[in-house]
């Protein structure tokens, strides 16, 4: 089967590489010249375990091609995956301009040609499939593009993208015709997981509903975490206590600095916007977002409990990416924590194993006002306190006894509950965790 993939970002690149690994012939259309050059040279543009080797193997065996020639890829392909971005607009709604542009390109290049299945993998508001159908008629200008639109949301997580693409918990496909369903069954034939075939509206809602539910679990446990902190209870044990109930489940109950990344914040805003646009009360999601926004202030408050005055103090921020195992800093909680520290008049020395370059590029103004260190050891030298924002293993394995003596005052806020409290206190740290 010939497949085309539009957009070589996290989702598109992983989808394309994995499908070629499964033996499909895949053409990836990418408009960003810089990305395209690197991918054509066999260099992965994102950091994902296992991706680089698979990329080189499938490129060299000729199953995977990167191109900017959309029309040619469209001509050859029977199934076209749309994996372009759907970022937030200022009002929180999803910006559909990339999807719109790809729709136009696909319609114009498939006029009077055979049947093609256009599969939307990007995360999109309910009704997107219908909009693509409507726009297809407009762009066809009275001629016929024999396109069927399907929805196939992606649930992979960054940092484990290849593994989760290849071994998903489920596959969701919103498709109307038998022909489209048969094609999607063929694409996912080798996957051994529940496959849910629905209408396109349902599939589109499943994606936002899943992300919003997971984010709700996180804000919920963060809310409970604050009560644990006030009362001397332990949020990790509370999470274990409720998570053992299979109806609740143990995952996504880790208290911390709040959720970040390119999807949860953006998708919550978009889902809440969709709800509002139908006149529905999606206030629950507004609360989830509000709790998340307040996490950085909570961390500042904890630091003040130990340091009294933050102005003029040097604080080491350990971790800039929104979670470990990725170089992605989009909507990272670290940015809010740094912002809040600077507002207190503290000076910040930040470090991260993979995120420094991305942080500098994305948060220019903020980055200009702080300093960066190559390692945690360097960041902690002379610091009045350290805050762990991202739970990288290197911070777990750090020689804390060794670095403590180099600190001005040994205050440590473990924002991810990753270190052993008793051990840290034994080493002489004024140690604080989250919700315990
Ligand atoms: N990042 C993630 O872990 C996940 C993302 N998603 C969703 O998947 C979609 C894509 O996300 P990412 O891959 O993170 O985005 P991204 O921004 O990393 O990648 C999108 C790519 O599409 C390219 N592009 C834009 N317009 C194009 C066009 N007309 N033709 C060809 N290429 C074009 C861009 O240059 C870019 O490389 C979003 O809707 C996102 O919400 C879904 C699940 C997981
Ligand atoms: O739509 C998407 O893009 C993806 O969004 C998330 O994946 P991702 O953003 O890669 O990262 P997660 O592992 O879900 O973490 C998101 C944020 O929540 C935080 N988190 C996660 C779990 C937890 O218990 N506590 C917590 O604070 C993480 O630190 C991180 O900042 C979803 O988990 C994926 O299923 C989905 O496909």
Place of tokens 């749309």: 82
Out of 218, 220, 333, 388, mutate this one to test ligand 2's pocket (max ligand atoms within 8 Å of CB): namely: 218
Spatial separation of the C-alpha atoms in residues 350 and 352, rounded to whole Å: 7
What residues in the chain have per-residue pLDDT under 70?
Answer: none
- Distance from the alpha carbon of residue 292 to the mean position of ligand 2, in angstroms: 13
Q: What are the E-state strand segments in 276-384? A: 314-318, 347-351, 371-372
Distance of CA 364 to the CA centre of its chain: 21
Please report, to the nearest 10 degrees, the dihedral formed by the alpha carbons of residues 389, 393, 394, 400 taken in order: 80
69 alpha carbon – ligand 1 mean position (Å):
18
Task: Reply yes or no on whether 263 is catalytic.
Answer: yes
pLDDT computed for residue 107 by the predictor: 97
pLDDT for 60:
97
For 180, half-sphere exposure in the C-beta direction (CA atoms, 13 angstrom radius) is 23
Q: What is the pLDDT of residue 354?
A: 93
Cα separation, 230 vs 283, whole angstroms = 26
Q: Whose CA is nearest to atom 24 of ligand 2?
A: 252
Going by their DSSP bridges, the two strands 314-318 and 347-351 should be labelled as parallel
417 CA to centre of ligand 1 in angstroms: 32
Q: Which atom of ligand 1 is nearest to the CA of 155?
A: 43
Q: In the structure, which protein residues have their CB atom closer than 6 angstroms to any atom of ligand 2?
A: 123, 154-158, 211, 214, 218, 252-254, 256, 259-261, 263-264, 322-323
Q: Which ligand lies nearest the alpha carbon of 101?
A: 1
Ligand 1 centre to CA of 192 (Å) is 26
Residues 6+ apart with CB under 8 A from 1: 24, 25, 78, 79, 183, 186, 187
pLDDT at 47: 85
Output the residue whose Cα is nearest ligand 1's atom 41: 123
- From the CA of 322, give the closest atom in ligand 2: 31
Atom of ligand 1 nearest to the CA of 157: 3
Structure confidence at residue 326 (pLDDT): 87
Q: What is the pLDDT of residue 112?
A: 86
* Residue 108: strand, helix, or coil: helix
Gap between the Cα atoms of 366 and 360, Å rounded? 8
In contact, 223 and 287? CB cutoff 8 Å: no
Q: Write down the pLDDT at residue 122.
A: 98
**Count of H-run helices and E-run strands, the chain:** 20, 14
Q: Which domains does the chain have, with CATH numbers?
A: 2-198 (3.40.50.720), 207-292 (1.10.1040.10), 294-432 (3.40.50.720)
3-state secondary structure of 22: coil
Query: Within 13 Å, how many C-alpha atoms sit on residue 120's CB side?
Result: 33
SS3 313: coil
- Dihedral angle over CA of 413, 415, 421, 423, nearest 10: -70
**Complex ipTM > 0.90:** yes
Indicate which ligand has the atom closest to the C-alpha of 222.
Answer: 2
Cα separation of the two ends of the chain: 54
Q: DSSP letter at 9? A: S
Give the distance (Å) from ligand 1 centre to CA of residue 13.
Answer: 9
**In ligand 1, which atom is closest to the CA atom of 101?**
29
């Amino acid at each position: 089967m010939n497949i085309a993939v539009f957009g070589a970002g996290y989702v598109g690149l992983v989808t394309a590489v994995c499908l070629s690994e499964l033996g499909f012939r895949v053409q990836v259309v990418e408009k960003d010249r810089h990305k395209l050059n690197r991918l054509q040279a066999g260099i992965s543009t994102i950091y994902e375990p296992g991706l680089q080797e698979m990329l080189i193997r499938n490129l060299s065996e000729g199953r995977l091609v990167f191109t900017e020639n959309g029309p040619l890829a469209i001509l050859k392909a029977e199934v076209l995956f749309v994996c372009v971005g759907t970022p937030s607009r200022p009002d929180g709604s999803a910006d559909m301009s990339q999807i719109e542009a790809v729709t136009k390109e696909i319609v114009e290049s498939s006029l009077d040609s055979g049947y093609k299945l256009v599969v939307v993998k990007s995360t999109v508001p309910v009704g997107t499939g219908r909009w693509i159908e409507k726009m297809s008629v407009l762009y066809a200008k009275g001629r016929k593009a024999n396109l069927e639109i399907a929805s196939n949301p992606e649930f992979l997580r960054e940092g484990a993208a290849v593994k989760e693409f290849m071994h998903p918990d489920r596959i969701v496909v919103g498709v109307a015709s038998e022909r489209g369903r048969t094609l999607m069954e063929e694409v996912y034939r080798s996957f051994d997981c529940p496959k849910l075939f629905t209408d396109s509206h349902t599939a589109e809602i499943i994606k936002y509903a899943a992300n919003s539910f997971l984010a709700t679990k996180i804000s919920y446990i963060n809310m409970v975490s604050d009560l644990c902190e006030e009362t001397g209870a332990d949020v990790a044990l509370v999470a274990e206590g409720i998570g053992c109930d299979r109806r609740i489940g143990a995952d996504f109950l880790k208290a911390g600095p709040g959720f970040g990344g390119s999807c949860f914040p953006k998708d919550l805003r978009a889902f809440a916007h969709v709800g509002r646009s139908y006149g529905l009360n999606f206030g629950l999601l507004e609360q989830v977002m509000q709790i998340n926004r307040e996490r950085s202030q909570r961390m500042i408050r904890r630091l003040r409990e130990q340091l009294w005055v933050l102005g003029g103090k040097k604080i080491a921020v350990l971790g800039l990416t929104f979670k470990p195992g990725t170089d992605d800093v989009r909507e990272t909680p670290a940015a809010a924590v740094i912002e809040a520290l600077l507002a207190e008049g503290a000076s910040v020395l930040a470090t991260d194993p993979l995120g420094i370059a991305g942080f500098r590029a994305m948060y220019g103004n903020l980055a200009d006002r702080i300093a960066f260190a190559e390692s945690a050891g360097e960041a902690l030298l002379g610091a009045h306190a350290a805050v762990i924002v991202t739970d990288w293993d290197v911070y777990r394995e750090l020689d804390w006894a060794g670095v403590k003596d180099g600190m001005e005052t040994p205050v440590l806020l473990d924002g991810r509950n990753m270190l052993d409290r008793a051990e840290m206190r034994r080493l002489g740290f004024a140690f604080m965790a989250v919700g315990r």
